[in-house]
Amino acid sequence: MSKARILIVDDEKNIRLTIAQLGELQEIEGDRVEALKNYRVATDLDPTYKPAQNNLTRATRSHKSRPPLIF
């Protein structure tokens, strides 16, 4: 694999991580709508990225049945 391709792959991983983390911060701050948007973007970028999938699944549950966000 070329160095350019490796950099692109690394950038894609960093982007999905950053977007998912932004969603976590937004959720902590109480902005659930924006958090959900960012979890969806992260999963769209990489459907196999489990942290974003898990956060999206958890955050879409009703408030009473939703487990807390744990770091």
SS (H, E, C) the chain: CCHHHHHHHHHHHHHHHHHHHHHHHHHHCCCHHHHHHHHHHHHHHCCCCHHHHHHHHHHCCCCCCCCCCCC
Assess if residue 64 is contained within a domain.
Answer: no
Please count the structural domains in the chain: 1
Question: In sequence order, what are the residues at sequence separation of 6 or more whose Cβ sits closer than 8 angstroms to the Cβ of residue 68?
Answer: none
Assess if residue 8 is contained within a domain.
Answer: yes
Assess if residue 21 is contained within a domain.
Answer: yes
Assess if residue 41 is contained within a domain.
Answer: yes
**69 and 37 in contact (C-beta within 8 Å)?**
no
Domain that holds residue 47: 3-59
Band (34; pLDDT cuts 50, 70, 90): very high
For the entire predicted model, the pTM comes to: 0.73
Assess if residue 69 is contained within a domain.
Answer: no
What are 45-64's pLDDT values in tens digits?
Answer: 899 999 999 999 988 886 66
What's the confidence (pLDDT) of residue 20?
92
Assess if residue 70 is contained within a domain.
Answer: no
